Amino acid sequence: MPEGHVVHSQARAIARAFGGKATEVDSPQGRFADGAALVDGVRLVGAEAHGKHLFIAFANDRWVHVHLGLFGKWRIAKGEAPAEQGLIRLRLRNATHYAELRGPTVCEVLGDDERLAAIARVGPDPIRADADPMRAWVKVTRSRSSIGALLMDQRLFAGVGNIYRAEVLFRQNISPYRPGAMVSWADFEAIWTDLTVLMADGVKRRRIDTVRPEHMPEIMGRLARKDRHGGEVYVYRREGMDCYLCGSAIRMADMQARKLYWCPPCQPG
């Protein structure tokens, strides 16, 4: 369910609910039992996100590293943890809160060096103040791959997923098929800046809204359905429907095993 904005808000929620307190850590499902034992009862220091990777810090210099993948989910709530239901890989508990993690691609305990190595593997994250977009630019401008594929590469744009990829290209009127080397500096800068705005907004709202305020009246009476991802978007999962701006049909195609949505007239060459 997550693109980077969700992981950032989850990091904040975990830090708020558990930060500074000794935390009971277990793995009701059992698959993370050994890892949980390494940090069970230790004071949880904080949590932070780098792209879609979440790192939870414990006072014994160990980190729980979580990547949700396509199916992973956190449930973070106040009160006493309910009776175990479903497959809970990791559970955090203190006197006031509990958190349950299901279905992650990665859930492991790392030392400090391993954590730094994991962070080094991802590129700049538009949500993070310390992100250096030049690391992405040098790779984009040298690449023959399409900008649509490059936006999904976590070594270039950490935290961007299929929705932000589609929407930022629509908003900037850039075809997803344009090779990276054909993306101008001005276009790259517009993409990066737009991602910082859209994704920061996503962290705050916990949903992806990309439709500009001036276009909202335009689309209000035309919304055909509410998708699970919530929010209002221009092209994502709108295959075959009319483009809100030019009226032609939104297209869908497979790009590297993921669905790509775009509006050809609005996003030329």
Applying CB under 7 A, the residues found at the interface with DNA are 1-3, 6, 29, 31, 51-52, 67, 69-73, 86-87, 89, 102-103, 105, 152, 154, 160-163, 208, 227-230, 237, 256-259
Between residues 154 and 175, which has the closer beta carbon with respect to DNA?
154
Overall residue count recorded for the chain in this entry? 269
Q: Which of 16, 258, 259, 265 is catalytic?
A: 258
Q: Is 133 a catalytic residue?
A: no
Give least dist CB 159 to DNA, A: 8
CB of 74 to DNA, least distance (A): 11
Nearest approach in angstroms of CB 256 to DNA is 5
In the complex with DNA, the residue whose CB is nearer, 43 or 73, is 73
52 is catalytic: yes
DSSP string, the chain: ---HHHHHHHHHHHHHHHTTEE-EEE-TTSTTHHHHHHHTTSEEEEEEEETTEEEEEETTS-EEEEE-TTT-EEEEEESSPPSP-S--SEEEE-SSEEEEEES-SEEEEE-HHHHHHHHHHS---TTSTT--HHHHHHHHHT--SBHHHHHT-TTTSTT--HHHHHHHHHHTT--TTSBGGGS-HHHHHHHHHHHHHHHHHHHHHTS---S-GGGHHHHHTT-----TT-S--SSTT-TTSBPTTT-SBPEEEEETTEEEEE-TTTS--
Kindly tell me which of 43 and 237 has the beta carbon lying closer to DNA.
237
Distance of closest approach, residue 107 Cβ to DNA, in angstroms: 10
Give the distance from CA 171 to its chain's centroid.
Answer: 19
Residue placing its CB nearer to DNA in the complex, 17 or 156:
156
Q: Residue 159: left if φ>0, alpha if ψ -120 to 50, beta else—which one?
A: left
Closer to DNA by Cβ: residue 29 or 141 = 29
Q: Shortest approach of DNA to residue 120 CB, angstroms?
A: 12
Active site annotation includes 108: no
Cite the active site residues: 2-3, 52, 258
